[in-house]
Structure 1
């Protein structure tokens, strides 16, 4: 029995989903007045709130069809006490320890690439997004927002760094990596490939399956209320100057930085297709369903079918070949970060070293602040699939690191081991979450090495009291999880942040504070890009393109804003936990 087309279903249901997403913004509050009182109290506790979602939040107007965005009320701080009680007077006694920013899932996309599957959007919602031609400009606008902030809203500490937790590129192409490095460090960018004087992707194909922004043609998107924007594609692909971060930044690798469309293993079999001159713009529904199923369940079959389609099994549009579309390897990913042209505010290599470029081992430690250590993990699996895991060698390395920065920990039987000579708080960063690390397929490049799940990683982290947080992305959703334990000092927080390609397009400020009463507070505050909330369909200025990027993401026919937005306990929070030493 065939399932109903997601396109037909979502076209009718998009307004309902959007309304549900907006209703979540006030979840946990009986009324707008109660929310406003909570917001006033949150603001009173802060050093500053300007430029964050404590001040204002993108909010939809109207109730149906294509909905415009406007500035709405900010989100109050939610105090979460699952792991420790909140002591009175802690604001006056607080000492800030660290302040930094997380970017995640930027998905800077070469939308003209031959190795993209836009025609599968009715089955795989990330295959095509109406806003994706603006990913580079949207990310640059997010950089502008961080540059405008003077520090953390609750400690006032300047940011020591920005960490991008993976899926920095969309299809692990060299040109996408160059765009990412330029967005982060600053420089001139032309977000266009092939013939850079024109657009050669699906959004001027005349197909009803895609939003054709410059045309009067009534495609599926325009029938749902999407606008006609004259000059959109030319402006989206035009050169611009990215300001780059003023803060040092680091990179964690994600599955889209490691595999074809973040799913298929890249064994070098499709390199000529990446750089070639043929692009599939559409296939029949039966073929699309078959390929979508293979991508999700049988990567080898998907690669075979894709080759067949590109070599005569489907209509192929001739586009301009481009060698810059070649996919990069993990070693090349590290090496690109070592290019002095991309050093920006530093550090040189942004976490990666020449040894990593030689080995392809993309995990490392770095200093967040005095007494606070950062650990960046590589949770991708080169066997394919979107979800991840880590290898035995990396797991052993991580345990050795944790022991090096702990004066005591717990063995597997729960007994205290006292051996280390120093204590530092530890914050882990990875792309995948604890619940999306179940992919234990053997790594084709290390066939005899075991793979380990998120559950195993949680168990390991709970043996080390100085682990305070695990910060990650991948799900494109805001979700904060308390990992408790019968021994309170063995608990930690997992902070998952939404992407910057799908609505709500968030980044997150994180601050660690010592409350002077035996507890720590981890403050998490969401931020949006610097783009204005209002859009102007008659303008293709840089601010208006960035604003349109956000609004299109909210209205994407396949998007599920309610699922990505999270609730108030996942937004602006104070996360309490015992101080481990």
Structure 2
């Protein structure tokens, strides 16, 4: 009887796995070095449509794409002295290989506490876009793509640069961690919906995530959406109650009303999860409704998380390291910055910052700015001092970039550094330029693939410059992540190879549909991207080394293919 009993258990497990199912990715897994995703131009004869008219996208030519040629590496010498001759350099040893993902914005599309009003007729695509229907499936496709590359050439670690959740909700951050852990995902809230009968054919269907390869350690950064209402403001008691209730949020135009989140008069809208295209319900002026609109059902798992609560979820994981960079003491205090060393035998240190605005850092235009307080700045200086003294190359990972957004630009109220932060942007940049071993700042937040040379202010010491690399969002087109390969060169420099990667979505899957939605949203909202039309940019970033580090790095002789 025992063999039959064991067989029965195995069969039951098999049936559970089959019932949950998994979404496959494309059989060809490549980077943008081999091919790019190119939007197909919308025909000039197409009708102009609103973002919420999802059923009209395809018939009007929105969201179509094709594969284009690959992009090679542009060799960037911006940090080198003009006298430096880099033309005959040989790459002699691989120091580090890692990937970053950012701005996944895992979304509970049925929550009553959204900002759809700001985007369903145009305006802000961050308020509404149909990509919000399938964020868990897109993340799963990205994870499967990462795993495929890891089999070819292992990553030393991965890091997620913030905005894991779209709306600071408990169920959103659990879906995010559970996708990375490879659990069964039910991307639905309230009551169970099934817009298209049968499994694996709509955004509400339960599926089995593959999970990140267990040998890859991954680390987490805090983003502004992870602890603010739609990334804009710390929730007050009114908002907190709204998250777990049935009534669709009534708020004013926070971008124009001086009362901000205290204003009222507009129903923000929600998604009807019973519909194939995620139809919008309950949106518009309060005066247009006889009774307050509701979502289909309340759900306590939609509750808003404080920073300590959000951090504590990263200890409830089956992947490593436990806490994903955070320690329990800091998590209890909401201290979301730390450092780690990826490889014991390589002198490289990663410093993770929390440069999002705390609730005490009020500023005009909401809480999407960069900010550091004096306590974290002092900690950062200590970490940099220690890394420099110990002869370690240093990488800073943060959600919000530095020195790339002008207060006079069109995004000045949302993306620039806070004007009321304890530490000014210039003060921070000046301090960073004191460390020749700082090689790289990586960030997300703006949903762009861009590379900025933070050139040394002293032409006599070019080694005081560093590279800043931003990675696009997995939410919005081009829905990419990046890989980084740091190698030692023969001329006392290092090269950082930054490579964009499109998740290898398989035709007909939910993730493939999301790519079309992302392209359509870009076209309908008239959003512009750097490096159009693909939005991708691959570069070899050359960084000069100080004399001390030249000698130390020369001692490391790992082969390039290690």
TM-score by length of 1: 0.73
Alpha-carbon offset, residue 67 of structure 1: 4.3
Change (3 A) 1:460 1:240: same
Conservation of the 8 A alpha-carbon contact between 2:168 and 2:225:
yes
Residue-by-residue CA offset, 1:200-232 (whole Å, 9 max, x unaligned): xxxxxxxxxxxxxx8xxxxxxxxxxxxxxx989
Change (3 A) 1:553 1:307: closer
Matched with 1:90 is 89
Conservation of the 8 A alpha-carbon contact between 2:484 and 2:499:
yes
SS in 2 for 1:235: coil
Matched with 1:272 is 241
Distance in 2 (CA, whole Å) between partners of 1:480 and 1:174 is 33
Conservation of the 8 A alpha-carbon contact between 2:39 and 2:534:
no
Whether 1:552 aligns to 2:517 is yes
Whether 1:496 aligns to 2:470 is yes
Change (3 A) 1:62 1:480: closer
Matched with 2:353 is 377
Conservation of the 8 A alpha-carbon contact between 1:476 and 1:564:
no
Alpha-carbon offset, residue 426 of structure 1: 0.5
Change (3 A) 1:454 1:500: farther
Whether 1:128 aligns to 2:128 is yes
SS in 2 for 1:470: strand
Matched with 2:446 is 475
> Hey, which of these two has a bigger chunk of helix by percent?
1
SS in 1 for 2:202: helix
Whether 1:391 aligns to 2:373 is yes
Conservation of the 8 A alpha-carbon contact between 1:508 and 1:525:
yes
Matched with 1:99 is 97
2:306 to 329, 340, 348: 329
Conservation of the 8 A alpha-carbon contact between 1:258 and 1:380:
no
Conservation of the 8 A alpha-carbon contact between 1:86 and 1:576:
no
Change (3 A) 1:469 1:157: farther
For these two proteins, the number of residue pairs brought into alignment is 455
Conservation of the 8 A alpha-carbon contact between 2:222 and 2:354:
yes
Structure 1, unmatched stretches of 5+, are 1-48, 200-213, 215-229, 408-421, 442-449, 537-543
Matched with 1:170 is 166
Structure 2, unmatched stretches of 5+, are 1-27, 44-60, 269-281, 360-365, 406-414, 550-562
Distance in 1 (CA, whole Å) between partners of 2:154 and 2:501 is 15
Alpha-carbon offset, residue 440 of structure 1: 4.1
Distance in 1 (CA, whole Å) between partners of 2:455 and 2:208 is 46
Whether 1:119 aligns to 2:117 is yes
Counterparts of 1:142-541 in structure 2, within 5 Å, are 142-150=142-150, 158-198=154-194, 235-246=202-213, 247-279=216-248, 291-294=253-256, 298=258, 300-305=259-264, 314=289, 315-339=292-316, 342-344=317-319, 346-369=320-343, 370-383=346-359, 384-407=366-389, 422-434=390-402, 435=405, 436-441=415-420, 451-485=422-456, 486=458, 487-532=461-506, 535-536=507-508
Alpha-carbon offset, residue 452 of structure 1: 2.1
Change (3 A) 1:96 1:50: farther
SS in 2 for 1:265: coil
Residue-by-residue CA offset, 1:402-461 (whole Å, 9 max, x unaligned): 111113xxxxxxxxxxxxxx11010001110113452244xxxxxxxx522333322211
Taking only aligned residues, the RMSD between alpha carbons, in angstroms, comes to 2.7
Conservation of the 8 A alpha-carbon contact between 2:38 and 2:533:
no
Alpha-carbon offset, residue 508 of structure 1: 0.4
